[in-house]
Each structure stands twice: as C-alpha cells, then as structure tokens.
Amino acid sequence: MPALRRPPGPKGHFLLGNLPELGSDILELFASCAREHGEVAFLSLAGWPAFVLSNPEHIEQVLVTDHKNFIKHTFFWRHVRGIFGNGLLTSEGDFWLRQRRLAQPSFHRDRIAAYGDVMVSYTEHALDQWRDGDTLDVHHELMRLTLLIVAKVLFDADVAQEVETIGGALDDATKEIASRFRRPFRIPDAIPIPGNLRYKRAVRRLDGVVHRIIDQHRDHDGRGDLLGMLMQARDDEGRPMTTEQLRDEAITILLAGHETTAIALSWTCYLLSKHPAVAENIHTELTEVLGSTRAPAVADLPRLRFTEMVVMEAMRLYPPAYALGREAVNDCRIAGYEVAAGTSIFISPWVVHRDARWFDRPEEFLPERWAGNAAQRLPRFAYFPFGGGPRICIGNRFAMMEAVLLLACIVRRFRLVLDDEKGVALFPTITLRPANGIRMTVRRRRSV
C-alpha cells in the first residue's frame, strides 16, 4: 500500500507552526489533537514535523515493537541535558543498555522490599512534626520526604541539610526549562542572558550536592547500595566510571527518583481532599489491615489493595510524566502514514488516560474502576504512567511501593483539607507539577 503523506492536525502560525501552543498550553494542544484530529495528528514545530499519537497500538509500536527506530526526543531532552548529562534517562544505545544493566539489581523486587522500613520510618518522623490545624504546602513536604528517602536507600546519604538547596535549584531550573519550551528559537547556553545564568547556577548547586555525596561515599568503600555498585563497576578494559558519569547517573536517580513520586502523591492528596469519602475508605482498609496502632510495612502491601487503586487512579488523571517524546531515526510508517527520519513523536499519558474508549466516565476520580483484573483487560498502552518497553521507568516498583506506603502513613494519621481550590494549577514542564504547591490544613485523626 502506498503511504499516506500527512495526518491531519491543527493549523499553526505561518512560521512557528504549533510551537506557540506547545509552549503556552501543551496539555490542551495534545488533548485537542486527539479530540479534533484523531489518533494520529500532525504538528509543525517551526518547520520540524511532529506526530501526536493516542492509539495504544501505535504507542506500542514506538515504545516496544520498533523501539530501536526511536531515540529520546532531542527537543525535550536538549533542554534538560545540562542537569541530567548522559545519565540513564538521557543516554542512548549500547552505552545506555550497559548502564541500565548495572543499575537494575538495585531495583529488583527483593531489593526494594528492603527499602520499605526506611520509607515508613522517614514518613512517620515527618508526620510527627505535623500539628493538628497546621496549614502546609503538601507538595513541598512530599518533595522533601521523597528526596530524603531516595538519597538514603540508594546512596546511603543524608541530604537533610541540602533539601532546600536541591529544591530551590530544581525550581529555578524547571522555570527556565518552561520558558525554553515557550521560546521559538534556541538561545545557546553560552550566551549570558539571565535565564541561562540562572540555569547554570542551579546546575552548579545540584552538582555541589551530588559531588559531596560521591566523595563521602568513596570514603566508605564497599557499600552495597546503587551508588556503591556504580562505583565498583568496571568496563571491558577494567576502567571504572568517570566521576562525570557517576555524577550524571547519581543526579538522574536523585531527581527522577523523588520528584515524580512526590507529584503522584501530591495529586493523590489533592484528589482525596476533594473526595473525602475515598479517603475514609482508605482509612477503613488501613484499620482492617493494621489495627489502630501500627504503621504499615511492606508485608501489608498485598492487603492494601484499595490504597493502591487510589494511587493508580490519581496517576491516571494526573500522570507525573504527562508526555513522552521520541524521534524517528530512519524513515518508517505509523498507521499507514509516512514518518520521515527526524520526525518527533509525542505520546501523552495525560490524553490516553482520559480516553472514554478505555475508561468509563474518564474525567471522574473513581478508584474502584481498578478493582479485580481491570488493568489486565485494558490494551497495554491505555494506561502507562511509567512508560513501557526497554525504556520503562526503572523505578516503577520502587515508586508504587513508596507511594502506597507513604499514602497509608498519611491517611492513617491525618485528614487533609484543601485550603484554596483556586490556587491549585498545573505546571507541565518535564513533569506535571502543581504550579503553586498545594496548600492544605492537616487534621489529626482521633484514633492515632
């Protein structure tokens, strides 16, 4: 069959194409592509072709079946390379595969089960500081907590003194990345405009923390955690990883390993405050499984099924990684359309997770939709908060375990009351952050 030449898509600016909408409202742009133009839509990004895919079969083709023909998307990733360097998230090919194999054992099911105690004890300690009636930015609290946890369990590091440095640097870098998305042209990093300078300062602050962690780790040879394994690894010629590569891997794990989980939990707390009956159902489950005095543990997870369903449903509506980007290496076809080498591919869990073909009443928060084997009945790429194929999130089990344990700890002890619904807004950059945090009043439950 001859290839179809170009899928339908939204009209764009004569020069910039759809780049302005990509920068100003990326979620609505992707959603409108699916709504108005179908499962394969075409965008022009200042002359560069891009496809937006929203059919699970086409997504599977890109992420799994033909994954060798699609690399991580340069438009997305060139903006964050200054932070992540050539770490697991951004590297490609044989180099990526080797690094992934080195890191994989730290994410083995048995290994992560051992992290559960730290997750719970750090959370219980954080909750001990919450007073009845306090008003908190729950997102800020969760970012702090998940950062402390990932640093402890994977690097055996205590970053309590550096939480604000990391958080501030990440905020500054994220704001700059957001403005880069909005810019129709690229300003090289070397040009000293305020945004570039701010970005560089942010990266320097993150570097400082990561180098401190690496140096301290070197002083205690032989630790069996992820950083220790990366340090002990040798290539075919017997050489260890360079300090720069260690820095890239460590910063990737530190940032990817806390921000997304904190975001998943922040939106979960937000949804629970709007659906207090669901929060009460979690509490009932917790009381049945844990009684009234005990904090949760990894062994309880199989019985915390409703709590898990709540996390899954929150990540359906607010997937922390709201879009995945790829770029075609060679010419190929998707859904009969010709895809030229260099074409960008956008895949948005935000859009697919709200598709009425797979989810009844898709805009509603209904954790019970995940009961039984509902997930298995869906096409593989109708629900994919952790991506899929060889580049699937290495921390997916870690993240689910952490999210369920932390949520259980919180709901066991507190009710969360949203302070100002109007203040809650989405800030989609690399992840789906809440724009201004999420301010909530915490109410201590009487029984705990």
Residue corresponding to tokens 């009425």:
356
The token pair at 341 is: 């080498």
- Assess 399 for contact with ligand HEM (CB under 6 A): yes
- Assess 387 for contact with ligand HEM (CB under 6 A): yes
CA distance 10 to 45: 12
Q: How many DSSP H helices and E strands does the chain contain?
A: 19, 12
Q: Which of 112, 227, 304, 321 contacts ligand HEM by CB under 6 A?
A: 321
Stretch that binds ligand HEM, among 2-10, 47-55, 257-265, 418-426 (CB under 6 A): 257-265
Smallest distance, Å, CB 198 to ligand HEM? 25
- Assess 393 for contact with ligand HEM (CB under 6 A): yes
Residue corresponding to tokens 């939480």:
163
Binding mask 347-386 for ligand HEM (x = CB under 6 A): --------------------------------------xx
The token pair at 175 is: 């704001």
Smallest distance, Å, CB 320 to ligand HEM? 4
Report the SS3 class of residue 1.
Answer: coil
Amino acid making up residue 246: L
CB 310 within 8 A of CB 407: yes
Q: Who's near 68: CB < 8 A, 6+ residues apart?
A: 329
Rg of the chain in Å (alpha carbons): 22
Smallest distance, Å, CB 421 to ligand HEM? 24
Of the pair 195, 328, the CB lying nearest ligand HEM is at 328
Smallest distance, Å, CB 8 to ligand HEM? 26
The token pair at 445 is: 């439950």
- Assess 268 for contact with ligand HEM (CB under 6 A): no
Q: Torsions phi, psi of 130, nearest 5?
A: -80, 130
Of the pair 195, 227, the CB lying nearest ligand HEM is at 227
Of the pair 314, 415, the CB lying nearest ligand HEM is at 314
- Assess 88 for contact with ligand HEM (CB under 6 A): yes
Burial class (CB in 10 A: 0-12, 13-18, 19+), 441: middle
**What residues between 98 and 117 interact with ligand HEM by CB under 6 A?**
100
CB 407 within 8 A of CB 97: no
Q: Which of 210, 309, 394, 416 contacts ligand HEM by CB under 6 A?
A: 394
- Assess 320 for contact with ligand HEM (CB under 6 A): yes
Which stretches of the chain bind ligand HEM, using CB under 6 A?
Answer: 88-89, 100, 150, 252-253, 256-257, 260-261, 264, 320-321, 324, 385-387, 391, 393-395, 398-399
